[in-house]
Structure 1
């Protein structure tokens, strides 16, 4: 059992040097000092010292997580992987993730919903491709299916390919089919969607070209 013989505060850095039996033992954040009610003259065991080290690591881990989340939303798996890659222990990562989940800052269902909506708004693609992306980010099957429940692959494919179709207005049908079809394949759509979408877009382009010719 040791004795706390000093707390040397550095308020500018929000840190404190903890002295035990006259020797510098630990440097801790002020938050950890206050949370653990560390004071001059109190007795402190080696077990308590080890617990303080764990609390300090968890505190630093939490601050790192906040910075990552301020940059962009992340799934639980993404955040865990990044924190582990920064060298934090599994215990510190678990404590951090539990805290963030409890405060609503990590929510895989909400993350999946936002990811799916973002794809529809800025890069329309198939439900299959969105499912694959969300699975890679560690979402559960239930969360993934909830995220893509409103997907309509036919409408999404039309939306995705219209700009490509307009830029292909001078092509014959074979070249048009090849260009638009390849584009839709890269967006994750299958043949059963690609074929009717190509036919619909070709019909729209043909009607547009005919209407222009009639005006001349």
Structure 2
């Protein structure tokens, strides 16, 4: 089995910076590719889990504007949970996402009426 050494770490950082995945998912993916544990630790140390979760959720929110809160929460929490984010981050990002939807809907109602 071949392994990927630290010389590729900067490339992994760049590739994963926009991956919208939790560090747990990134660790798993890199292990599957044969990356050494030291390199994995170095790569995931720079990941901002909350920012990645927000970016992932924003990619879906456009199609979820019409949902009620319960359905939005269910879909958003499932979506982020399947990507490996922990509950605390998922809950915070989902609450913030719903608040954003409410603000946009309120602004749209004010502008339209």
User: Which TM bucket (shorter chain)?
Assistant: 0.7 to 0.9
Q: Following TM superposition, by how much is the alpha carbon of 1:111 offset from its aligned partner in structure 2, in angstroms?
A: 2.8
| 1:148 alignment partner, one of 19, 24, 44 | 44
| 2:2 alignment partner, one of 68, 73, 76 | 76
CA contact (8 A) 1:76 1:108 kept: no
1:205 aligns with 2:101: yes
The CA distance in 1 between the partners of 2:30 and 2:59, in whole Å, is: 26
Instruction: Please show how residues 43-54 of structure 1 align to structure 2 within 5 Å.
Output: none
CA contact (8 A) 1:157 1:184 kept: yes
1:111 aligns with 2:8: yes
Q: Following TM superposition, by how much is the alpha carbon of 1:148 offset from its aligned partner in structure 2, in angstroms?
A: 1.4
| 2:22 alignment partner, one of 126, 134, 138 | 126
The CA distance in 1 between the partners of 2:87 and 2:75, in whole Å, is: 14
The CA distance in 1 between the partners of 2:9 and 2:31, in whole Å, is: 10
TM-score normalised per structure 2: 0.88
Which structure's CA Rg is the greater one?
1
The CA distance in 2 between the partners of 1:211 and 1:160, in whole Å, is: 24
Which residue does the alignment assign to 2:67? 171
Q: Following TM superposition, by how much is the alpha carbon of 1:210 offset from its aligned partner in structure 2, in angstroms?
A: 0.4
Higher relative contact order (CA 8 A, sep 6+): 2
| 1:188 alignment partner, one of 58, 78, 84 | 84
Query: SS state of the match for residue 113, structure 1?
Result: helix
The CA distance in 1 between the partners of 2:34 and 2:71, in whole Å, is: 39
CA contact (8 A) 1:109 1:147 kept: no
CA contact (8 A) 1:166 1:205 kept: no
Count of residue pairs brought into register by the alignment: 112
The CA distance in 2 between the partners of 1:110 and 1:174, in whole Å, is: 46
RMSD: 1.8
More helix by share: 2
Tell me, which stretches of 5 or more residues in structure 2 are unaligned?
Answer: none
- In 2 relative to 1, CA 188–112 (structure 1 residues): closer, same or farther, beyond 3 Å? farther
